[in-house]
Amino acid sequence: MTKYLKRLVFFSSGGAFLDGYVISLVGVALTQITPQLGLSQAQSAEIGAASLVGILFGSLFGGMLTDALGRRTMFIVDLIAIAVCSLISMCAGDALQIMLCRFLIGVFIGADYPIATSLITEFTPQSKRAIAMGIVAASWYFGATVAAFVGYALYAVDDGWKWMLGSAIIPCIVLLIGRHDIPESPRWLMNKGRSAEALAILEKVYGSHYDAVPAEHVSSDKPIHVFTKGYRSRTVFLGILILCQVVPMYAVYTFGPEIMTAFGLNNGHESILGEAVVSVMFLIGGIPAMFWLNSLGRRKLLLLGLALMIVGLLALGLWPTAPLWYVFAGFGVYAFFSGGPGILQWLYPNELFPTDVRATAVGVAIAFSRIGVAVSIYGLPLFMESYGVGATMLVAAALVGIGFVWSLVCAPETKRLTLHEASSLQHKHANK
């Protein structure tokens, strides 16, 4: 991990930071937007779900473009687009305008995921791959945590929601500066027959001593390859796993203040601060998980994490009128042990597919999960209003439970495998 490579991982993780930031901040912004613009519960839900629908389309088509045109081509354009849409959202005057801006921001954030995670995976040494993907996951939680504190600071400001939505411009500018000289992936260049360019980049990133990029058999560079025999089962496994893992997490972040208020915190600053505390637990949980993925292994940590996430959600669902220390303990258990599964939603898709369709696989997995996320986020405030926060947490626990059973049957072990071994259909993954 050279100094240059560490910098590459840091700035490539910025898309995850932006996702966590803009998704979480809208929950706080809606506490001002809803009464100021006189929005109905359905309109608030539409604004909350708009960026998730955008991520669905952006990750799907962004992944295909990334495999076809290269990892770096859209790496700068998407940040500029997010900044422009954030600026426009500050001037929005009704629910439809805000929703459209949020949708477009989601499209470009979704496009950044397959670009950034493929680039990081293809540059990072095998022994550091889990840590590098851990930084991506931690960046999401860090972005969400920063959003909670920004929302807390701007909550009492007149038209603070406009500054909240427009504040995404600042990280976009920082990332544009940091990404300006990040090179193309050597693996992608090798697969396109551009060996001289690949070797020059390897020497720039690693110095004069580096391991040669192993040749890969390019069976197809068409997106449909992720649905062909062998890879189809991996695509379905990832789509269902990520869906079950992220739906409750996005619910907590998108409507965090409302959920905290339902558990007994006062509406306003207190509920926003409660969301920030839970967000910090998500962030802390990802740090040891980076290292446990190499020591315990991918499969064991996934199953352990999902099981303890269920415990936390069940505790909240079975006693929704509990004192605040109990509520925070339940959320703390759920959030802390989300670390391993949270990293694996990025690590698994990049390990289980070859270079020619890696970004497409990431995009398809994310897109599939975001269909469920968008539907659930739209329905969450309506469901919680009708059935209460306890029932909402029990449904979330059931969904994570489905993910646990699915992973028990399907989750592979890719610890200590090279990218070529992990993505090969000939290599038999351990499942114990």
160-184 tens-digit pLDDT: 989 999 999 999 999 888 888 788 7
Paired with 413 in beta bridges are 430
Report pLDDT for 278: 85
Largest CA distance in the chain: 65
Among 81-85, 142-146, 227-231, the least confident range: 227-231
How far is Cα 138 from Cα 128, in angstroms, rounded to an integer? 15
What pLDDT does residue 326 have?
92
Q: What is the pLDDT of residues 324-335, one digit of tens each?
A: 899 999 999 999
User: What's the pLDDT at 71?
Assistant: 64
pLDDT at 308: 96
Which band of pLDDT confidence, cut at 50, 70 and 90, is reported for residue 104? very high
CA distance 284 to 142: 9
Q: Tell me: pLDDT of 70 over 70.
A: no
Distance CA 191, CA 71 (A): 13
Q: In the structure, what pLDDT confidence band is assigned to residue 268 with cuts at 50, 70 and 90?
A: low
Q: Report the pLDDT averaged over residues 397-417.
A: 93
Q: For the chain, what percent of residues have pLDDT higher than 70? A: 90
The pLDDT of residue 338 is 93
Average the pLDDT over 294-322 and give the result.
Answer: 94
Predicted confidence band of residue 223 (pLDDT cuts 50, 70, 90):
low
Specify the pLDDT at position 363.
Answer: 79
Handedness of CA 131, 333, 31, 255 (dihedral sign): positive
HEC string for the chain = CCHHHHHHHHHHCHHHHHHHHHHHHHHHHHHHHHHHHCCCHHHHHHHHHHHHHHHHHHHHHHHHHHHHHCCCCCCCHHHHHHHHHHHHHCCCCCHHHHHHHHHHHHHHHHHHHHHHHHHHHHHCCHHHHHHHHHHHHHHHHHHHHHHHHHHHHHCCCCCHHHHHHHCCHHHHHHHHHHHCCCCCCHHHHHHCCCHHHHHHHHHHHHCCCCCCCCCCCCCCCCHHHHHCCCHHHHHHHHHHHHHHHHHHHHHHHHCHHHHHHHCCCCCCHHHHHHHHHHHHHHHHHHHHHHHHHHHCCHHHHHHHHHHHHHHHHHHHHHCCCCCHHHHHHHHHHHHHCCHHHHHHHHHHHHHCCCHHHHHHHHHHHHHHHHHHHHHHHHHHHHHHHHHCHHHHHHHHHHHHHHHHHHHHHHCCECCCCCHHHHHCCCCCCECC
Query: What digits encode the pLDDT tens for the residues 338-372?
Result: 999 989 988 888 888 887 777 777 778 777 777 77
Is pLDDT at 72 greater than 70 in this prediction? no
Of 33, 20, 101, 56, nearest in space to 375 by CA:
56
pLDDT of residue 279: 83
- Which residues make beta-bridge pairs with 430? 413
**What is the pLDDT averaged over residues 277-304?**
91
What percent of the chain has pLDDT above 90?
22
Tokens representing 215 are 């040749």
pLDDT digits (tens, 9 = 90+) for 186-220: 777 887 788 888 888 888 777 766 655 554 544 54
In this predicted structure, the answer to whether residue 102 has a pLDDT above a threshold of 70 is yes
**Higher model confidence: residue 306 or residue 179?**
306
Name the token pair of 54: 């955008």
Mean pLDDT is highest, among 2-11, 199-208, 253-262, 405-414, for 405-414
Q: For residue 22, which phi and psi values (nearest 5 degrees)?
A: -75, -35
Establish how many alpha carbons lie within 13 A of residue 384's alpha carbon, considering only the half-sphere containing its beta carbon. 26
pLDDT attached to residue 303 = 96
pLDDT given at position 222? 55
List, for residues 374-401, the tens digit of each pLDDT value.
777 778 877 888 889 899 999 999 999 9
What pLDDT shows up at residue 312?
95
Show the tokens assigned to 221.
């560079």
Task: End-to-end CA distance of the chain: give it in Å, rounded.
Answer: 30
Predicted local confidence at residue 319, as pLDDT? 93
**Please, which pLDDT band fits residue 314 given cuts at 50, 70 and 90?**
very high
Predicted structure pTM score: 0.77
Assigned token pair, 30: 């809606």
Rounded CA separation 278/330 (Å) = 10
In terms of pLDDT, which residue wins out, 394 or 231? 394
pLDDT, position 408: 95
Q: Once rounded to an integer, what is the mean pLDDT over residues 264-280?
A: 78
